[in-house]
Amino acid sequence: MKSICIYLFNLWLVLLVAGLSAFAQIPNQPGPSSPLYGARTAEPGSPSTGMPAALRDVGIDQKLDQQLPLDLVFRDESGQEVKLGQYFGQRPVVLAFVYYDCPMLCTQVLNGMVTSFRVLPFQVGKEFDVVTVSFDPRETSELAAKKKKVYVDYLPEKMRPAAANGWHFLTGNQDNIAKLTEAVGFRYHYDEATKQFAHASGIMVTTPHGKLSRYFYGVEYAPRDLRLGLIESSANKIGSPVDQLLLYCYHYDPATGKYGAAIIKIMRIAGVLTVLSIVAMLFLLKGRNPKMVSVKTGGATP
């Protein structure tokens, strides 16, 4: 009984902290329409907003529930032709668009991914797969293989064998790259002046069957958000009972690309746990003192 009381108290405390953290969140966080994520700042034909021309049509448009064109053909890091669909069907997939020779932003995206993967309770190649696609058609499989080795080696040693089979670095021709980026809503622009690509930063999570489920923006991906996104994308086929409780208490906000606390749900659960904790505590006290005085209406009986 004592252990039950302690468990209920700890669970109540977790929910209380979750609720308080929601109140502490910064309001009006920038979402996919914010220049912070490189999104489109002006519609075609509208006055310029002062952004460089190379950035005016760059960003990520959410296309939730969109089916990816899984019949597209790319090359993997070994140089073999592969259909995109062969990486789908069993587990949720984290999808990222980068180019391997990128001097800065793509490296930050990959760094953010591997940093989150290192602490997730799920492992690449076991509970989920990762598909990284270069949007530069000039890049080669050899370059993809080098990039893969770097990032698989960033993972803890015990995670590397599964990650080597579950994290894929692809290259492709312009036509297939364009079809895939259009399906996902990933917009980029090649700047002739600098000989570099202007692009937004973010990753997507898809269902095992290749439907877009979640978008996460920026170059850092909170392990909690990615964890919940993977669980939802898997139709709750991965994760623990605690994860299911977290999913009940948090909801995905497409405007920010983050999970936020559902205050009402948290308070409901906290209220139920409070009542259960009080009842359990009364039983515990009664067990410790069996001679407790029972009270009846109209008087006390010794």
Q: What is the three-state SS of 59-94?
A: EECCCCCCECCCCCEEECCCCCEEEHHHHCCCCCEE
Residue 258 within a domain: no
Q: Structural domain of residue 122, as residue ranges? A: 33-221
**CB under 8 Å, gap of 24 or more: what pairs does 103-111 form?**
103/196, 105/199, 105/201, 105/219, 106/199, 108/201, 108/219, 109/201, 109/202, 109/203, 109/219, 110/147, 110/151, 111/219
Residue 226 within a domain: no
Q: How many domains does the chain have?
A: 1
Residue 110 within a domain: yes
Residue type, 264: I
Number of H helices, E strands in the chain: 8, 14
pLDDT band at 9 (very low <50, low <70, confident <90, very high): very low
Q: State pLDDT tens for residues 107-141.
A: 999 999 999 999 999 999 999 999 999 999 999 99
Q: State pLDDT tens for residues 161-217.
A: 999 999 999 999 999 999 999 999 999 999 888 888 999 999 999 999 999 999 999
Q: pTM for this one?
A: 0.71
Share of the chain above pLDDT 70, in %: 63
Q: What are phi and psi of 84, to 5 degrees?
A: -55, -35
Give the CATH number, domain containing residue 197.
3.40.30.10
242: tokens are 């605690």
